[in-house]
Amino acid sequence: MSSYIIEGGMPIGGKVTASGNKNAALPCIAASLLTPEPVVLSNIPDIEDVRVMLQIYTALGGRAEQLGLNTWKLTAADIVSSKVPDEAAEKIRASILFAGPLLARSGEVSLPPPGGDVIGRRRLDTHFLALTELGAKVKTKNNFEFTARKLRGADIFLDEASVTATENALMAAALAAGETVITNAACEPHVQDLCRMLRAMGAKIDGIGSNILHISGREKLHGCEYAIGADYMEVGSFLGLAAATHGELEIDGVLPADIRPAKTAFGKLGVVWEHENTTIHLSKKQALKVNNDLGGMIPKIDDAPWPGFPPDLTSIITVLATQVEGTCLVHEKMFESRMFFVDMLIGMGARIVLCDPHRAVISGRAKLSGSVVTSPDVRAGMAMVIAAFCAEGKTTIRNVYQIERGYENITARLTALGAKIEKA
């Protein structure tokens, strides 16, 4: 099990270019199964989750050819298997995204329960609801078995605005006969990316960016070329790192609209940045002081489905809050185990009261000390990286496989920003 050894206590800053959005790349790879024609995807991040997703794609009969840095040509002329491999599926939750396109293309799919981050109970019921509305039959004994003679358009109301359930429904509906309406659909930037890719393949989709999507099914889709958008979770992580360590940072390749909800939340901690076109600039002169609500009330930073503050950034902003003067409440409403990583922060000297599995009260500024910690998931792992750079002395972070599932070439990019980090 690999580790990072980090020397803290110095500003991290410079220039960096945003990677492609992991959460858009994964469903777009799965969507490539919807056509026998070649699909060329660019700006695909070179991360572990993408490698696993491509492994599943090829096991199902697709051919993946790397054309250059971050560009892949995917061709699924024939589906040779409708069974998602167990070992690969257990590594990432996104493996369930093959259910929709496999069902639409071959009429059946066998899928083991997906793996991924352990951040609480992550329901799959919404996937089953959406696919059964489109005409699938589902068996859930050991594996999940989906069959459908012919998918037909339907009026679907999702019981929660699940990102991956929306994506599965979108992909299945693109080849279903007739019209489909998905209400209470997720509308995050990565869902919008998938919608635009499906459009480039010939799908007819209206309502992109809203929570009501209209899909007119097609008999077949064609190949396309599509560029994945920037990863705003990575952008938020780099902004949190630079602000917490008093560094100055410039990030290129950003879509400012995607980072807007984070800008509001970071602003509550006295962190501001400027943007021009697709470039963000964060000055090292940050107030780093909690802006209380009216009447001097302690502010709350809580996550929500888009366009709310992204749940994947709650771990990042929690660490940032330890380095900000004042007190705030972070409320992670969507996953009941995500905040448990704060025990490691407390061990490093952070002043945090974990009220319950969802809420933490943070009082800063705290003096952190180096320690030995473990990365529990992608985002909490990156949060511990930020904490390590804020701390005095040396920190060892174990299980960094989790971090590298979501952050491209992270040690080299951090080193280029002045960080002292080694992988052991």
CA distances from 219 to 34, 82, 83, 152 (A): 11, 20, 23, 11
**159 and 72 part of one domain:** yes
Is 291 in the same domain as 221?
no
Task: Provide the total of helices (H) and of strands (E) in the chain, helices listed first.
Answer: 14, 23
Report pLDDT for 66.
97
**Phi, psi (degrees; rounded to nearest 5) at 181:** -120, 125
Task: Check if the beta carbon of residue 338 is closer than 8 Å to that of residue 380.
Answer: yes
Place of tokens 């529990």: 376
Residue identified by tokens 């490093």 is 348
**Are 138 and 146 spatial neighbours (Cβ–Cβ below 8 Å)?**
yes
Interacting residues of 393 by C-beta distance below 8 A, sequence separation 6+: 7, 8, 9, 369, 370
Tokens 């070649």: give the residue: 38
Percent of the chain with pLDDT over 70: 98
Three-class secondary structure of residue 182 per DSSP? strand
Report the amino acid identity of residue 340.
F
Domain assignment of residue 385, given as a range: 3-11+260-269+285-423
**Are residues 395 and 265 part of one domain?**
yes
Question: Residue 87: what pLDDT?
Answer: 87
Are residue 61 and residue 118 in the same domain, yes or no? yes
pLDDT band at 338 (very low <50, low <70, confident <90, very high): confident
pLDDT at 410: 97
Residue 46 has pLDDT above 60, yes or no: yes
161 inside domain: yes
**pLDDT, tens digit (0-9, with 9 covering 90-100), for 351-372:** 999 999 899 999 989 999 999 9
In a domain, 278, yes or no: no
Same domain, 319 and 418: yes
Cβ atoms within 10 Å, residue 192: 18
**Secondary structure of residue 23 in the 3-state scheme:** helix
Which amino acid, residue 300? K
Same domain, 293 and 159: no
Among all chains, which residue has been given the structure tokens 């951090």? 414
73 and 210 co-located in one domain = yes
Quick one: pLDDT band at residue 36, thresholds 50, 70, 90? very high
Tell me the two tokens of residue 147.
């069959």
CATH number, domain of 377, equals 3.65.10.10
Q: Does a structural domain hold residue 252?
A: no
Q: What is the pLDDT of residue 115?
A: 62
How many domains does the structure of the chain reveal? Answer: 2
**Mean pLDDT for the stretch of residues 193-210:** 98
pLDDT in tens, 388-410: 999 999 999 999 999 999 999 99
Residue 234 domain flag: no
For the chain, give the percent of residues with pLDDT over 90: 87
- Report whether 122 contacts 148 (CB < 8 A): no
User: In terms of domains, do 302 and 167 share one?
Assistant: no
| CA 138/CA 165 separation, integer angstroms | 15
Domain check: are 57 and 202 in the same one? yes
Whether 117 is a known active-site residue: answer: yes
The predicted structure's pLDDT at residue 116: 47
Domain co-membership, 64 together with 198: yes
User: What pLDDT score does 127 carry?
Assistant: 87
Annotated catalytic residue, options 46, 49, 86, 117: 117
Q: Which residues contact 297 (CB under 8 A, 6 or more apart)?
A: none
Give the pLDDT confidence of 92-150 residue by residue, as tens digits: 889 999 999 999 999 999 988 876 444 344 567 898 899 999 999 988 877 888 999 89
